[in-house]
Chains A and B, each alone.
Chain A
Amino acid sequence: MMKLQHLFGIADLDKEQIEYLLNLGESLIDVSRRPIRKAPTLRGKTIINLFFENSTRTRTSFEIAGKRLSADVINISASTSATKKGESLLDTGQTLAAMRPHVLVVRHSISGTCQFLSEYLEGTSIVNAGDGSHEHPTQILTDLLTLRQAGGYENKVITIVGDIAHSRVGRSHLLAATLMGYRVRLVAPKTLLPAEVERYGCEISHDFDAAIPGSDVLYMLRVQTERLTDNCSFPSIREYHEAYGLNRKRLAAAGKGCLVMHPGPMNRGVEIASDVADSASARILEQVEHGVAIRMAVLTALCGDTGGEG
């Protein structure tokens, strides 16, 4: 198996690597359920969380993952003004790399930030914690682990609803679906779908109700409310919720076995109704728990020198 040097996206992984990360992640769930939540795996490793975008939950998840494996974790929130973004990005990256961390976890609003940084930073593994609208690999691995724990993802139909155009989660799922053998159905108005998205080989619907039958998972994307109305992608939150929000009625139409997932943080009453978010069908908190395990797995895989033979 190819040794992981960086984790930029699902696009750089093969099936074997994904399964390996899921196996590792599955084994690591238990570490977070013990009285003493710490294993010595990454003792002496330094991990820097470099977050250019606010994301308390993803940063915390990476931080806990590193700490539970005994790594030294440092968090850096770099605020960026729109115009200075570029310069400070490379400078910050190079400065931190010079402090010789083993892993740099990066979140940035610009797609391709991790690939870009990797060209200039040597000797540091880079993990993509979400880059622009490009990829968010640890979220997808988290989702796959959650589905595996709920009975598997193969041949399942995952219906992803919302702003696909700006969704890194959506893109990473579309890539993973082909690799791992599940199907993705996209539900959004044309204003929220990127160009030629059908070339991923997914189904596309503009009608949420019509897309519900046959779905095994309803995967609700977070709506960025400002973005939605500012550029005329949608007239109002009210109409959005009516057309694409997941409510009781739609959940009932989906049937008992259908799961509800959300990468978080949720906008209750916008893309998902409160009672649905709290229902027995929801796997949203499991996603959060598994997120820690997957990030532990990713950090372990990147810090091990050869990866392959055990």
Chain B
Amino acid sequence: MTLLIRNGHVIDPANAIDEVCDVWIEDGRIAGLGEFSGTASETIDASGQYVCPGLIDMHVHLREPGQEWKEDIESGSRAAIAGGVTTFCCMPNTQPRLDHAGVLLQVIDRARQVGLCHVHPIAAVSRNLEGKELTEMRELARAGAVAFSDDGMPIWHAGVMRKALEYASSFGFMVIQHAEDLELTSGGCMNEGWMSTQLGVTGMPAEGEDSMVARDIMLARRADARYHVAHISTAGAVALVRRAQAEGLKVTAEAAPHHFSLTEEEVMHFNADAKMSPPLRTEEDRKAILEGLRDGSISVIATDHAPHHEDDKRCGLSCAAFGIVGLETMLPVSLELASNNVITMSDLIAKMTINPARLLNLDSGTLSEGRAADICIFDAEKRWTLDRSKLFSRSRNTPWHGRELTGQVTHTIKGGRVVFRNGTIHD
């Protein structure tokens, strides 16, 4: 049984491969790259398309357990493979929280049953995300947690954050922070600035994120800890991360596609589908994130996929839930970075494959011989218009509805099996 992907433009940043060649798969593993000369049982003609490792999204909110009407592990997995994502990390703010090994194992087990994606939980830093007592991190790691975060909530109090960084780093775990000083952002529903002033709504100032990141970096320095900024959104935070990295600290950051492609202008006319936390910021912030992606300060692109039911969005901007779905738009929106020459295609793919894999010690994100054959094939030129009713996600909250996007996933292969092909899922 040989699956041959012929004549695609293969991008495998881990192995510095950026050329047109064949990729062949045997027994669910990468068997070789180059010019194929045997006989294949199935052939995918990838001429004119890119072939890269299956994408990794290290920031996804599944709503299972607890709010399955918004998204469950199955619908989330379907959305992922439709977006070329074969591996993702799910955040702990479910009901119950991912703060106990039992819940973690249940999620992992369910994801295996669905079988479309590799799902790695990120477990809670504090019990019930309350920011008071630490979770049993060693036990959670044994159960499968790949990192720790209270995302959905920040680890707000400095004393708790200090202990979290010290304890997690004692065992080599990374702490991921949703950097937001809740006192500064209280009641806010968008970036604080000219736009929030015009709309007459309470804003969330950039300083709410900056001050948290600055504080955390100081604490991480003292603890010699691995600290990762989730969904970085401000110019100030990017500068802080860059400086910390120059200093040699183990500080990393991820950016979400909406933060480097959209600005607060989207919220004009009270658009609740442009409401998320951290909020869309200004053009200067957006440019700073592009620069951070370019110079490597931001090494990962992750979606912060946050499904919400229509009822939670259709109630006026101030009342609407925070978050947008992102798995199915991650690749096309991010491809703008390459087409606008912000970064090379290889760097772009690295930020969605090998970089998060290395950060989380995952055995994926490359096309190295012998690795599980998780592959994404996409047409970088294909133009299409997003129709939210056609999303595979159970939720519809996207600001890209009705917009033309460039770049579309044609095939997603997981473990050598074609699970998504030209718009259809094969489970």
**Candidates A111, A196, A197, A199; contact of B199 at CB < 8 Å:** A111
Set of chain A residues within 8 Å of B311, measured between Cβ atoms:
87
Known: A116-B317, A195-B203, A195-B205. 15 other contacts (CB 8 A): A86-B315, A110-B316, A110-B319, A111-B200, A111-B317, A112-B270, A112-B316, A113-B316, A115-B269, A116-B316, A131-B200, A133-B200, A195-B197, A199-B194, A199-B197
Set of chain A residues within 8 Å of B193, measured between Cβ atoms:
195-196
- What are 7 residue pairs bridging A and B, where the CB atoms are less than 8 Å apart in the complex? A86-B316, A86-B319, A110-B316, A112-B199, A133-B200, A195-B192, A195-B194
Which of B194, B314, B319, B320 lies at the interface centre, i.e. has the most chain A CB atoms within 10 A of its CB? B319
What 0/1 readout, one digit per residue, does chain A (229-265) give for beta carbons within 8 Å of chain B? Answer: 0000000000000000000000000000000000000
In the complex, whether B149 has a CB less than 8 A from a CB of chain A is no
How big is chain B's contact interface, by range?
A: 20 to 34
In the complex, whether A194 has a CB less than 8 A from a CB of chain B is yes
Q: Taking the nearest CB of chain B, how far is it from the CB of A280, in angstroms?
A: 34
Bound CA–CA A131/B199 (angstroms): 10
Bound CA–CA A197/B200 (angstroms): 11
In the complex, whether A90 has a CB less than 8 A from a CB of chain B is yes
Q: Taking the nearest CB of chain A, how far is it from the CB of B277, in angstroms?
A: 17
Q: Which residue of B lies closest to A131 (CB)?
A: B200
Q: Taking the nearest CB of chain B, how far is it from the CB of A50, in angstroms?
A: 14
Set of chain B residues within 8 Å of A195, measured between Cβ atoms:
192-194, 196-197, 203, 205
Q: Taking the nearest CB of chain A, how far is it from the CB of B13, in angstroms?
A: 41
Q: Are A196 and B197 in contact (CB under 8 A)?
A: yes
B interface residue numbers (CB < 8 A to A):
192-194, 196-201, 203, 205, 269-270, 311, 314-320
Set of chain B residues within 8 Å of A120, measured between Cβ atoms:
314
Q: Taking the nearest CB of chain B, how far is it from the CB of A137, in angstroms?
A: 13
Contacting B at CB under 8 A, from A166-206, are 168, 171, 194-197, 199
Set of chain A residues within 8 Å of B314, measured between Cβ atoms:
86, 90, 116, 120
Set of chain B residues within 8 Å of A85, measured between Cβ atoms:
315-316, 319
Set of chain B residues within 8 Å of A115, measured between Cβ atoms:
269-270
Set of chain B residues within 8 Å of A132, measured between Cβ atoms:
200-201, 318
**Candidates B196, B197, B200, B205; contact of A135 at CB < 8 Å:** B200
- For chain A, the count of residues having a C-beta within 8 Å of the partner chain is 26
Set of chain B residues within 8 Å of A108, measured between Cβ atoms:
316
In the complex, whether A134 has a CB less than 8 A from a CB of chain B is yes
Q: Which residue of A lies closest to B312 (CB)?
A: A86
Q: Are A134 and B316 in contact (CB under 8 A)?
A: no
Q: Taking the nearest CB of chain A, how far is it from the CB of B236, in angstroms?
A: 15
What 0/1 readout, one digit per residue, does chain A (106-150) give for beta carbons within 8 Å of chain B? Answer: 001011110110001000000000011111000000000000000
Q: Are A110 and B317 in contact (CB under 8 A)?
A: yes
Set of chain B residues within 8 Å of A112, measured between Cβ atoms:
199, 201, 269-270, 316-318
Q: Are B194 and A111 in contact (CB under 8 A)?
A: no
Q: Which residue of A lies closest to B267 (CB)?
A: A112
Set of chain B residues within 8 Å of A89, measured between Cβ atoms:
315-316, 319
Q: Taking the nearest CB of chain A, how far is it from the CB of B283, in angstroms?
A: 14
